[in-house]
Chain A
Amino acid sequence: MSQFAINILFVGASFALYIGIAIWARAGSTKEFYVAGGGVHPVANSMATAADWMSAASFISMAGLLASGGYFASSFLMGWTGGYVLLAMLLAPYLRKFGKFTVPDFIGDRFYSGAARNIAVICLITASVTYVIGQMSGAGVAFSRFLEISNTAGIWIAALIVFLYAVFGGMKGITYTQVAQYVVLIIAYTIPAVFIAMQLTGNPIPMFGMFGTHETSGVPLLEKLNSVISEIGFREYTADIDNKLNMFLFTLSLMFGTAGLPHVIIRFFTVPKVADARWSAGWALVFIALLYLTAPAVGSMAQLNLVTTVYPDAKGKVESYADAMENPIMYSERPEWIKTWEETGLITFVDKNNDGRIQFYNDKNADFNETASSRGWEGNELNVNNDILVLANPEIANLPGWVIGLIAAGGIAAALSTAAGLLLAISSAISHDLIKKTFKPDITEKGEMLAARISMAVAILLATYLGLNPPGFAAQTVALAFGIAAASLFPALMMGIFSTTINNKGAIAGMLAGLLTTLVYIFTYKGWFFIPETNMLPDNAANWVLGVSPLSFGAVGAIINFAVAFSVTKVTAPLPDEIRAMVESVRYPKGAGAAQDH
């Protein structure tokens, strides 16, 4: 069977499974549509949460980010998992006790203010829309590479599949589909990793193999990787860094952002009990950790494989790495997988010094240029897009065809599951918070369901359009979505639960202050609304205030939010008694069952 047929088979079978589940789990009420009836088993809910959380970026890009970023990129690993500790202890159980459908619901009720609710809706929609663009284009890349169709057709197919199960199934359909998608994506991610860990270290468990011994050379794998890449001018993978403040704040922003992203929080509204929300956060992190603990192993091993493919002399036991890196392979002898990826444009080669060989090195490293020119090198000749590391991983390691089919299905599952979760968060904010709570309070349940389905369909069309014509800010997802969630939503939710004094004016002022300072800081360096050339200062460390990168500013925005909220509350009217009673009530699990039936 050809590779193309195998890919079609794997992707087709996974789609048939998702559609089958969607038909089985059709939503009949708004409660089923928004929160799956509040009756999903905590372990199933956690798998769905994990699939919802692990996006195309986690599946496709993270290993590449680690491979190129090394130690600094650990922020992604810690930030995107550490946020679950905050969720489990500071938000999830209390929001589940509160027993409503959406995040703006809580903010609107707790701060007894339509304005607060609407600010939350705006934050939610902005963060989610930015995020969903990346999913659609990620699905497009996976489709076009593996199914040999155009990117455009790939995005339309992805939109159609999501439409089928999200619009009809609502949260119930999405949740059970995500359980299946989690299984597909985790198998797809770990199997190639196990094979590669075996090949390189003899240890089948990637997270142990990464800290094990590289078999053919007899030195530790990470030491081997460090020696190989530092000889071609790259930073050592494990090298420590100087600017710890930035790494600290970046990790903190990602953690606050993770805890404040609405599409993650609403997952905890779907479990039957408050205690289940706590367990569910723990299990979700277990399922997420399976991928996140494997990612650095995939990143480091794939990087080593890539470099030793180009420099075959560096493969085994090496006396002098400087000598081993003098003879890169001839372009005419490059392996098959480089040829396939060249067709997609994600790998490019330019023979700058016309010697017919592939010089792959870091030509931006000034200290290395002398060595490079003494070897007759005139610039890096091979550009490898970070995103292909995971997708090309099985081919680089010469794994069987079915593993490649599996990776195709896994990458698509990761993109679709996150897109569906985001679309649900967007549509419920529109139909529930805007239409029902703000514009048309007398809408019937049937009318609200219809409104939810229509807004979901519109959201899918918008996401498809933006996936096809990605705006400049698509690449800024991390700064924008996490910045907004960290600086605005997370502090508001936390104060809503842990403070019995913060009032409506304090919360609104705090949210606006956190949101605006963060946006202004990001736009100052990245350009207003990410329009190129409109940035007021160059985006580099020398110009950042106290060396804080715009990516790391969310944590600072959160602190501003807290400070402003407390100050404004001090000088305005105290919290009404009935709101104080509500805050008290979300703190105790007792009575959550009754709160469900409203």
Chain B
Amino acid sequence: MAEDKTNAAAYWSANLRLIFGSLIVWAMVSYGFAILLRPLLAGIPVGGTDLGFWFAQQGSIVTFIAIIFHYAWKMNKLDEKFGLGE
């Protein structure tokens, strides 16, 4: 039982670390590149506009998809590793 507890705690903190890292990327592409940091990226041209604009209307969405699939894939491995999957 005690072993189960530590196992479960380790699984949960691994999950939290993964969530935290994913949320940093999530915030970086949307709130960072697309909104607050857009003036900094203004020098990088992309098809008639700048990189910040591209992130606002295309890049952030594509990154969101990548984040979710990466998270799902990593969590499936964690489920297996800790024997907590279904």
Contact = CB atoms under 8 A, between A and B. Distances in A.
A275 B60 contact: no
Given A238-B53, A251-B35, A279-B72, A82 B64 contact: yes
B56 to A, nearest CB: 4
Contacts of A66: 57
Contacts, number: 136
A517 interface: no
A111 to B, nearest CB: 21
Contact of A278 (B54, B58, B68): B68
Interface residues of A, number: 52
- Size category of the binding interface on chain B: 35 or more
A293 interface: yes
A85 B64 contact: yes
A211 B54 contact: yes
A588 B8 contact: yes
Contact of A84 (B8, B12, B64, B86): B64
A227 to B, nearest CB: 10
Contacts of B75: 93, 275, 278
Nearest to B48: A220
Of B52, B65, B76, B85, most A-chain CB atoms within 10 Å: B65
Interface stretch (A71-79, A133-141, A183-191, A424-432): A71-79
A296 B57 contact: yes
B39 A88 contact: no
Interface in B11-26: 11-12, 15, 19, 22-23, 26
A112 to B, nearest CB: 22
A587 B12 contact: yes
Contacts of A207: 58
> Is chain B's interface secondary structure helix, strand, loop, or mixed overall?
helix
B29 to A, nearest CB: 9
Contacts of B72: 88, 275, 278-279, 281-282
Given A212-B47, A275-B79, A296-B57, A81 B19 contact: no
A251 B47 CA distance: 25
Contact of A81 (B8, B11, B61): B61
Contact of A590 (B26, B76, B86): B86
Given A78-B30, A89-B19, A275 B35 contact: no
A248 to B, nearest CB: 6
Contacts of A85: 22-23, 26, 64, 67-68
Interface string B3-46: 00000100110010001001100100011001110110010001
Interface stretch (A171-179, A284-292, A399-407, A444-452): A284-292
Nearest to A221: B48
Given A285-B65, A296-B57, A74 B22 contact: no
A247 interface: yes
Contact of A251 (B31, B39, B68): B31
B57 to A, nearest CB: 4
Interface string A221-260: 1111010000000000010100010011001100000000
A511 interface: no
B48 A222 contact: yes
A93 B72 CA distance: 10
A588 B84 contact: yes
A592 interface: yes
A275 B85 contact: yes
A247 B35 contact: yes
Contact of B86 (A220, A238, A274, A293): A274
Contacts of B50: 238
A495 B7 CA distance: 23
Contacts of A226: 48
Contacts of A20: none
A90 B86 contact: no
Question: Nearest 7 CB-CB pairs, A to B?
Answer: A220-B48, A211-B47, A74-B56, A222-B48, A278-B72, A282-B68, A223-B48
20 contacts: A78-B30, A78-B34, A78-B60, A78-B61, A82-B26, A85-B23, A85-B68, A90-B19, A221-B47, A221-B48, A222-B47, A238-B53, A252-B31, A275-B72, A275-B75, A281-B68, A282-B68, A293-B58, A587-B8, A587-B15
Given A222-B47, A592-B86, 13 more contacts: A77-B56, A78-B60, A211-B47, A211-B48, A211-B54, A238-B49, A244-B36, A248-B36, A289-B62, A289-B64, A587-B12, A588-B8, A593-B86
